[in-house]
Structure 1
Amino acid sequence: MRLLLGFLGSLLLTAGLAPAASAAPPESRPIYSYADAIRETAWVETGTDHDHDGRIDRIAADVIRPAARVRVPVILDVSPYYACCGRGNEAQKKTYAPDGTPQQFPLFYDNYFVPRGYAVVLADVGGTNRSSGCFADVESGNAVVNWLNGRAKAFDAPDGGSPVTAGWATGDVGAIGKSQDGATAIGMAASGVPGLKTIVPIEGVADNYAQLVANGAPLAAPENTGSSFTYNARAAELCKPFEADVKARAGTNGDYNAYWQSVHYVPRPGQASVLIAQGFGDWVVAPNQFASYWDALGRAGVPRKAWLSQAGHTDPFDLQRAQWVETLHRWFDRWLLGLRNGVEHQPAVHLEATPDHWTDLRGWPPATLPVTLRPSAGGALGPTGSGTATVADDPAVTREQWAAGVSAARFTGAPLPAPVRIAGSPSVTVTASSDKPVARLGVALVDYGPADVRNTADYGSGIRNLATRSCWGSSTAADSACFLDTATDLVRADHRIVAAGWADLGHHASLWHGEPLVPGRAYTMTFTLTALDHVVPAGHRLGLLLGGTDGQLFDPALPALGDTLTFDLARTSVGFGLTHPEH
């Protein structure tokens, strides 16, 4: 950070701070006019020509910053969704004046933080909205960070134009975003781009292989993968060779390879501090993404903080709005303005243990007692297993139907005498044979018993919109700071799938190389289920489901395998950690 912190007057001017009148932590204050803020676009050169049009690709970076002679840090959200799909609970899109000047900046970051002495930059991933090039998301974000630090060129037009510099920027950047935007932030941190001080990934992907291939089993047919749905009309045509090259490098057989290794960010988390949010009910970006990344951050000694809920693919802004904004404010103040507000010394984890019941913890996962359960042919789940179970693969049947006993083997334990908390990343060992040279495996851990739960089972968000709005920052006629309030969307359920995992049995020996199965031969495969933090009430039963293709996850365009699986239950088990509930 290049603010002149040595002089109190300069500190107050640059950061928008109020002098401390008490022992309260220092914080930036809203002293700059939002209405008068400078709104502009810089088209930043990436140094590459992915669309092969003979010109260096340019990333459209829409900027809003205080209209004052100050240097400010930047909150950056790099997204492919500003034109095609929108951002946030209300699917806001960017809007522009007739002359192209940005008007609406989606989400509340600009409304809230610009008056407090930050710039907000919303950048279009290559080939989307007003950017040229193709979908190279990390490269797109890094180009903007490089421009903000004087290492890349930018212009005031998508082609040609006059040079634009970022002399107003301190060079300190925080990357934020949900889903794909969060994945981009994680990738940028992994790249080590200088100037990126912190990231805030919300339901973001850290391991692209695990997101698109389930332990050797591709989740979608090749024609239904890729980024073309986000492209502008120009890129949709010019980027066909780029997309074909990416698909060729990824492969279609489910093997882990050098391409997947290059977009696996967990082994190299970088050094930027991380405030991360994840819902344990998220089936879009499953919580195993969070768990592996969180562990890697801890091993690397990266400053980290987590917001963990029982919701689905949902921004914390729509769960605990006031608390999230306060936390985000303090986080950016600490890592972008250098204010010693102690946020990094507060409890590292804010956890929703059960719907709307939150607690603060020093770490995650908690210390637990390891438990291993095994299924038996009579339908029991306990310390020992025996017998076999046969399942005919039916890709039209979902894991929720499995839980009712359709097209899956179902096993349940005895009613629990007291509530228990299952937390961490369960693992399953499956021994099975197939009557065909191929087979997919599907496994789920289930809490059987009536409860009011967030509505997430069928990719729900776990929230519902209200008719009221609350305001977070300043507004203009073109960009409101007022957003729909939300409430918890609860449903009464007789069961809840709390963790699940999938695999291709042909990859039993290695994810790097699958092999055809010998029909009738038993193979053993161990893999991790989705992470969880779930309280099982007293009287409920734990269940284990063993199935084939999960119709709720796998693309129906994939070829049907038509196999029948036979599970050796004595050599099949699920392991997880138990502890006492926080509440």
Structure 2
Amino acid sequence: MSRPRTLAMAVVAGVLTIFVAPAAAFATPAVSGTETMPVYSYQNAVRESVWVQTSLDNDGDGVPDRVAVDIVRPREAAARHLKVPVILEGSPYYACCGRGNESELKEYDASGTIAKQPLFYDNYFVPRGYAFVSADLAGTNRSTGCMDVGGREEVLGAKAVIDWLNGRARATYADGTPAVATAWTNGKTGMIGKSWDGSVANGVAATGVEGLETIVPISAISSWYDYQRFNGVLRAPDYPEYLASVVSGRPASVCAATVAGLDQGSDDATGNYNAFWASRDFRPDARKVHASVFIVHGINDTNVTTTQFAQWWSRLDVPKKIWLSQMSHVDPFDIDRAAWVDVLHRWFDRWLFGLPNGIDREPQARIETAPGTWVNERSWPASGAHQTKVTLGNGDGLTGTLGGGSSGGFRTWTDAPDLSEAAAVASPNTAVPGRVAFLSAPLSSGVRVSGTPAVSLRVQVDKPTTELTARLVDYGTASRVDYLGNGEGITTLDTSSCWGASTTADDACYLDTAEDVVTSDHAILTRGWQDAAHHVSLRFVTPLQPGKWYSVTVPMQATDQRIARGHVLGLILQASDNEYSSPQSVGATIRLDLRGSSLSLPLVGRLPASGATAPIVSTAPAPSTFAPMRVQPELPS
């Protein structure tokens, strides 16, 4: 265990400026330049638990549902009548699954008062003049109500906490006496959280609630439909019910009606976007967001996929910032720890204390371009990216080409439900039943794909529908983050480092991590899925007629990847995908018209013109097993 570490603080002109605030003022007693300083005692902080009353009663007991809230705040600030801002995390995972790389749970003392908060937020920020507040989402841990998985109960329950912090809602202590927050906070609140927790922050921000000044959604959901469906393709059956059962803290009989509503509303049978999903889609309400937004996401996240951040980001008209790593579903604290703690500190100082530290004038985007290599950019997607139409060529009749003049020709394949991703993308010059491949010429100079690719396919299908799957592949040897490994891009080390103050019950020390880097001869850059019968609308099914030609667009996940000189870009098409989804219609035969099909790339640079035939690409042998990778749904954790 390493000794506690204090980050270096910038001191303007070498002078520490002390501000002593009048009673009831909003201030911090010590600022170095434009940075809050750790002057409050974490050991002696006020620790308390309250229950915030909501306007809902979805457990049907005739009593308003209550959200359990655990608070750690600086005692000295309260004694001096200084009102402090709040960092809030709402989560369903505090009792069932844990938070962070070490799966920390909440812990309470003998009286039921919070003794340990997961993660470093309270350890680091409470000494700097913030309160840290963690809320158990409705139906989880010590809250009442029933978990409705992204619905009104979840979002409005978390919003009620902000209303209470601003004097607009009621709360009580365990003994029933009133709990008043306005005595110690001015109500300025920032929400943070990874995955489901960050999704709650997105949802609450979309209500436009007064007092929410900023959110930091990490690997977060902005549309629960897109999390549990891929354009009409079912990701896993009975998914909302599964999620609710994992996190619920209530007896099954109490929440049976809510769970039944999840089953009925989610409509596995059709995969349609309906009123149930619309109520869990925060993107249309992006115009209501007035809080600043700092998005963090892994560009290779296969759990909460990248359309979640890209479509949210593009609709936000507020001060915003974005970090994109090469990881899968990993917290930035476990990627670039020192840089993350520093930027998060500055972000909260700017938006919750109003300190003019300039972070809002810095480049919006920080992007990991290769293992451990980061660049800052003015905006995202890259300003030089242009949507480029890439034609599909016939090649040698087996392996097609990307780029160059449009050519005629067809490809026909029959769905192979057990075809694994590894086998589908390996050896693109060979015949593999169930997939077709298209390759660019070797790149004469590096290019960058920044944004959301898509492939438009003109197809005939011999069944009323089929899943269509597209993968964009970089063929070429390089060192890459192993985002498909067990650590989703990181390895946990034996050493540790400390980020804040500690108590006996709650230390600020965490195991260090390192990027998991491998050398590979190819990498999947992005994926996309589409149910063909939803080609007209996601709101209804339009069955295909055998023998009739249809244009079906397969959107891919947003990405930002660089493809090096000499590498080959590949497009791999197949039908159903047993690893990332649960196909409902399999076995179709698809005929593809090349002249009526194309790939759309948000491209910086140019692909070379293709030759008459595709280049020869060799890859390591694919694994011999075709077993599905995922046998049960993932948690958005």
Q: Do the two structures share a fold, i.e. TM-score over 0.5?
A: yes
List aligned pairs for 1:279-298, cutoff 5 A: 279-297=298-316
Match of 2:49 in 1: 41
What is the CA-CA distance between 1:313 and the residue it aligns to? 0.6
SS for the counterpart of 1:34 is coil
Q: Is the 1:14–1:117 contact (alpha carbons within 8 Å) kept by the matching residues of 2?
A: no
Q: Quickly say closer, same or farther: Cα 1:440–1:432, change in 2 above 3 A.
A: same
Match of 2:613 in 1: none
The answer to whether structure 1 residue 391 and structure 2 residue 413 are counterparts is yes
From 456, 467, 476, the equivalent of 1:440 is 467
Match of 1:139 in 2: 156
Q: Is the 2:85–2:189 contact (alpha carbons within 8 Å) kept by the matching residues of 1?
A: yes
The answer to whether structure 1 residue 51 and structure 2 residue 62 are counterparts is no
The answer to whether structure 1 residue 564 and structure 2 residue 589 are counterparts is yes
Cα deviation, 1:322-378, whole Å, max 9, x if unaligned, reads 111111111111111111111100111111111111111111111224322233243
Match of 1:3 in 2: none
Cα deviation, 1:108-167, whole Å, max 9, x if unaligned, reads 00000000010101111111111110123211210111111111111112xx72221112
From 133, 155, 158, the equivalent of 2:172 is 155
Q: Which runs of 5+ in 1 are unaligned?
A: 1-6
Q: Quickly say closer, same or farther: Cα 1:142–1:437, change in 2 above 3 A.
A: same
After superposing the two structures, state which structure 1 stretch, 390-399 or 91-100, moved more: 390-399
Match of 2:280 in 1: 263
For 1:509, the aligned partner's letter is V
List aligned pairs for 1:13-412, cutoff 5 A: 15-20=27-32, 24=33, 26-68=34-76, 69=78, 70-135=82-147, 136-157=153-174, 161-166=176-181, 167-222=183-238, 225-252=241-268, 253-269=270-286, 270-297=289-316, 300=317, 302-366=318-382, 367-375=384-392, 376=394, 377-383=397-403, 384-404=406-426, 406=432, 407-412=434-439
Match of 1:508 in 2: 535
SS for the counterpart of 1:234 is coil
Measured in 1, the distance between the counterparts of 2:214 and 2:22 equals 21
Q: Quickly say closer, same or farther: Cα 1:19–1:103, change in 2 above 3 A.
A: closer
What is the CA-CA distance between 1:231 and the residue it aligns to? 3.6
Aligned CA RMSD, in angstroms, stands at 2.0
Measured in 1, the distance between the counterparts of 2:595 and 2:487 equals 36
What is the CA-CA distance between 1:285 and the residue it aligns to? 1.0
Q: Is the 2:460–2:591 contact (alpha carbons within 8 Å) kept by the matching residues of 1?
A: yes
Q: Is the 1:381–1:544 contact (alpha carbons within 8 Å) kept by the matching residues of 2?
A: no
Q: Quickly say closer, same or farther: Cα 1:511–1:130, change in 2 above 3 A.
A: same
SS for the counterpart of 2:252 is helix
Cα deviation, 1:375-398, whole Å, max 9, x if unaligned, reads 324312223243222232233333
Match of 1:4 in 2: none
From 1, 20, 27, the equivalent of 1:9 is 20
SS for the counterpart of 2:35 is coil
What is the CA-CA distance between 1:459 and the residue it aligns to? 7.5
What is the CA-CA distance between 1:19 and the residue it aligns to? 5.0
Aligned residues: 564
Measured in 2, the distance between the counterparts of 1:276 and 1:19 equals 27
What is the CA-CA distance between 1:427 and the residue it aligns to? 1.6
What is the CA-CA distance between 1:578 and the residue it aligns to? 2.1
Q: Quickly say closer, same or farther: Cα 1:229–1:492, change in 2 above 3 A.
A: farther
What is the CA-CA distance between 1:224 and the residue it aligns to? 6.6
Match of 2:150 in 1: none
Q: Quickly say closer, same or farther: Cα 1:240–1:569, change in 2 above 3 A.
A: farther
Cα deviation, 1:70-109, whole Å, max 9, x if unaligned, reads 2111100100011111111111111111221111100100
After superposing the two structures, state which structure 1 stretch, 391-400 or 494-503, moved more: 391-400
After superposing the two structures, state which structure 1 stretch, 80-89 or 362-371, moved more: 362-371
Q: Is the 2:233–2:581 contact (alpha carbons within 8 Å) kept by the matching residues of 1?
A: no
Q: Is the 2:443–2:568 contact (alpha carbons within 8 Å) kept by the matching residues of 1?
A: yes
Q: Is the 2:146–2:250 contact (alpha carbons within 8 Å) kept by the matching residues of 1?
A: no
Q: Quickly say closer, same or farther: Cα 1:505–1:27, change in 2 above 3 A.
A: same
Cα deviation, 1:299-335, whole Å, max 9, x if unaligned, reads x2x0001111111111111111111111111111111
Match of 1:542 in 2: 569
Cα deviation, 1:195-234, whole Å, max 9, x if unaligned, reads 1110000010112221111112221213674532334452
After superposing the two structures, state which structure 1 stretch, 392-401 or 529-538, moved more: 392-401
Match of 1:480 in 2: 507
SS for the counterpart of 2:399 is coil
What is the CA-CA distance between 1:169 and the residue it aligns to? 1.4
Measured in 2, the distance between the counterparts of 1:67 and 1:81 equals 28
Measured in 2, the distance between the counterparts of 1:256 and 1:454 equals 35
Q: Is the 2:31–2:37 contact (alpha carbons within 8 Å) kept by the matching residues of 1?
A: no
Measured in 2, the distance between the counterparts of 1:223 and 1:528 equals 22
Measured in 1, the distance between the counterparts of 2:27 and 2:237 equals 50
SS for the counterpart of 1:191 is coil
For 1:436, the aligned partner's letter is K
TM-score of the superposed pair, with normalisation by structure 1: 0.93
Measured in 1, the distance between the counterparts of 2:310 and 2:357 equals 27
After superposing the two structures, state which structure 1 stretch, 374-383 or 523-532, moved more: 374-383
The answer to whether structure 1 residue 521 and structure 2 residue 548 are counterparts is yes
Q: Is the 2:466–2:588 contact (alpha carbons within 8 Å) kept by the matching residues of 1?
A: yes
Measured in 2, the distance between the counterparts of 1:369 and 1:228 equals 42
TM-score of the superposed pair, with normalisation by structure 2: 0.85
Measured in 2, the distance between the counterparts of 1:184 and 1:254 equals 24
What is the CA-CA distance between 1:64 and the residue it aligns to? 0.6
Q: Is the 2:300–2:526 contact (alpha carbons within 8 Å) kept by the matching residues of 1?
A: no
Measured in 2, the distance between the counterparts of 1:72 and 1:549 equals 53
Q: Quickly say closer, same or farther: Cα 1:224–1:348, change in 2 above 3 A.
A: closer
Measured in 2, the distance between the counterparts of 1:320 and 1:163 equals 42
Measured in 1, the distance between the counterparts of 2:387 and 2:229 equals 28
List aligned pairs for 1:416-431, cutoff 5 A: 416-431=443-458
For 1:324, the aligned partner's letter is W
Question: Identity over the aligned pairs, expressed in percent?
Answer: 43
The answer to whether structure 1 residue 497 and structure 2 residue 513 are counterparts is no
Q: Is the 2:368–2:375 contact (alpha carbons within 8 Å) kept by the matching residues of 1?
A: yes
Q: Is the 2:165–2:187 contact (alpha carbons within 8 Å) kept by the matching residues of 1?
A: yes
Measured in 2, the distance between the counterparts of 1:262 and 1:284 equals 21
Cα deviation, 1:268-326, whole Å, max 9, x if unaligned, reads 221110011011111111112111111111xx2x0001111111111111111111111
The answer to whether structure 1 residue 449 and structure 2 residue 476 are counterparts is yes
Cα deviation, 1:251-280, whole Å, max 9, x if unaligned, reads 221222233222222232211100110111
Q: Quickly say closer, same or farther: Cα 1:11–1:425, change in 2 above 3 A.
A: farther
Cα deviation, 1:519-549, whole Å, max 9, x if unaligned, reads 2322111242111111111111000011111
Q: Quickly say closer, same or farther: Cα 1:76–1:19, change in 2 above 3 A.
A: closer
Cα deviation, 1:493-536, whole Å, max 9, x if unaligned, reads 22111111101100111122112221232211124211111111
For 2:180, the aligned partner's letter is T
